[in-house]
Structure 1
Amino acid sequence: MDEALKIDHLYVSYLGNQVVKDISFSVDKSSLVGIIGPNGAGKSTMMKAALHLIPKDKGEVQIFGESLKKWRKKIAYVPQRSDIDWDFPITVFDVVLLGTYPKLGLFKRPTKSDREWAYECLKTVGMETFSNRQIGELSGGQQQRVFLARALAQKAELFFLDEPFVGIDVASEETIINILRELKKEGKTILVVHHDLSKAESYFDHLLLLNKNMIHYGASEEVLQPEVITKAYANQFSFLQPKGVNVTS
């Protein structure tokens, strides 16, 4: 099975309004996919519905050819920073250690090797010196690195990241994208909700373009052609260059 993710005819409503309409696509293993589209296009909603974090109206989701339930422990999800309670009294290290919990049995505590692995994941994202800090004391970029470290600690095969580059510093963005590229080289599959079209081609090998329904899915250079991209963004601007366009969603 070469498909890591397959979504068939996904529909999602919010407060009585349909915000995701008939989305169907599949992602091969070892892919780095960006999910793009204008504000309100349903990008985050689609991701959450695919992960069963919110209810869907209808549609099927398969992970490596099986149900999501069978693969849940091998799926890592990094939510938007706005969805996280940064006042919660937890240290950076303990946030990352939570990534080891899915493989633990009921009532079991992390072992010494689990704690060592969590520390290695912190080192990977360059945050080991902040391990005893309260998570809310960090900058936006540092917080995002920590949550990526938590995802790494999970030893997942499939990664979902919702707007990981919003409100972070350049150094953190470079660190994160380089780690995602390494994960891809290791055979992992990564999907990222993304807002900056100017970097989309250099960051992702494939792009999914949404505006409530699927506009196009394919190689990044193919999706970013003006005649394709304007189908989603036509109401936001009147002229597009093939590259170098920066649109916030």
Structure 2
Amino acid sequence: MISLNQLVLGYQGRAVTQPLTGNIAKGSMTAIIGANGTGKSTLLKTLLKLQPPVAGQLSFTGGKAPRIAWLPQLAEMDRQFPATVYDVVCMGSWPVRGLFSSLNRQNRKRIADAIERVGLTPLTKQPIETLSGGQFQRMLFARLLVQNAPLVLLDEPFTGVDSQTSDFLMTLICQMHQAGQTVMAVLHDNERVSRHFPQVLLLTQDHFHWGNTVDVLPHYCKSSINLALSA
């Protein structure tokens, strides 16, 4: 689905990664791991074309990017925006039906089904500013379900939510993958990565490791130990 060829990530021309080369296969499920400041979120934003790469090439199969469902970090979300749970989940249908097209019966059913699937039906008309962290994240996952995009990018999807909600959301991610969607997620929980993600991209300040989780994860554990010892 995606090919990286000597791709250097960064901001305003300043590199934060070494050149990355590799492929993201259609239908794969990849965890992006590494210390803070190594370019994990920057990679997702580069795939979204929210910021250009410093150098190298990024290409998509067929020459065109697929529809992408994007879950940013909770810290980047405006929780004071005057909207209800239904309003936010409804936004997931915009890429297909258009911004100014009215909802048809099929759209409304998909939205209602997604809200029910994440357990927020009683809160459908609730203002988003009143939601707890876990409820807010469930709402954003409902929007992802409505989008049903071929490529799903998740930036720290479990930050700020309780363990029960995290396990529930992890189940949804696995179901997306089983349905054929390509999933890439920035994560910090090695145990969760080891249990659920077949592929890992490890970013460090000096290099990267990309491949099967059983092969790559030990490199992350080793680098974490080295950082702790140097501190």
Instruction: State whether TM-score is above 0.5.
Output: yes
- The residue aligned with 2:50 is 53
- The residue aligned with 2:80 is 87
* Contact in 2 for aligned 1:32/1:191 (Cα 8 Å): yes
User: Take 1:116 and 1:230, find their aligned partners in 2: how far apart are those partners?
Assistant: 45
User: Size of the alignment, in residue pairs?
Assistant: 230
Aligned structure 1 segments of 4 or more residues deviating by more than 6 angstroms:
none
* Contact in 2 for aligned 1:24/1:214 (Cα 8 Å): no
Given the alignment of the two structures, is residue 43 of structure 1 paired with residue 48 of structure 2, yes or no?
A: no
User: Take 2:150 and 2:158, find their aligned partners in 1: how far apart are those partners?
Assistant: 21
Per the TM alignment, residue 224 of structure 1 is displaced from its structure 2 partner at its CA by 1.6
- The residue aligned with 1:21 is 18
Per the TM alignment, residue 115 of structure 1 is displaced from its structure 2 partner at its CA by 1.6
* Contact in 2 for aligned 1:22/1:213 (Cα 8 Å): no
Per the TM alignment, residue 55 of structure 1 is displaced from its structure 2 partner at its CA by 2.3
User: Take 2:63 and 2:138, find their aligned partners in 1: how far apart are those partners?
Assistant: 30
Give matches, 1:59-208, under 5 Å: 59-68=56-65, 71=66, 74-105=67-98, 107-208=100-201
Pick closer, same or farther for the CA change 1:224–1:144 going to 2, 3 Å.
same
The structure carrying a bigger helix percent of its residues is 2
Per the TM alignment, residue 198 of structure 1 is displaced from its structure 2 partner at its CA by 2.8
Tell me the percent identity: 33
User: Take 2:108 and 2:79, find their aligned partners in 1: how far apart are those partners?
Assistant: 22
Quick one: which amino acid aligns to residue 25 of structure 2? D
- Tell me, what secondary structure is at the counterpart of 1:59? strand
Q: Which runs of 5+ in 2 are unaligned?
A: none
Cα offsets for 1:146-173 (capped at 9, x unmatched): 1111111112111000000111111211
TM-score using structure 1 length: 0.85
The root-mean-square deviation of aligned C-alpha atoms, in Å, is: 1.9
User: Take 2:85 and 2:207, find their aligned partners in 1: how far apart are those partners?
Assistant: 38
- The residue aligned with 2:224 is 233
Given the alignment of the two structures, is residue 6 of structure 1 paired with residue 3 of structure 2, yes or no?
A: yes
TM-score using structure 2 length: 0.92
Per the TM alignment, residue 203 of structure 1 is displaced from its structure 2 partner at its CA by 2.2
Pick closer, same or farther for the CA change 1:233–1:65 going to 2, 3 Å.
farther
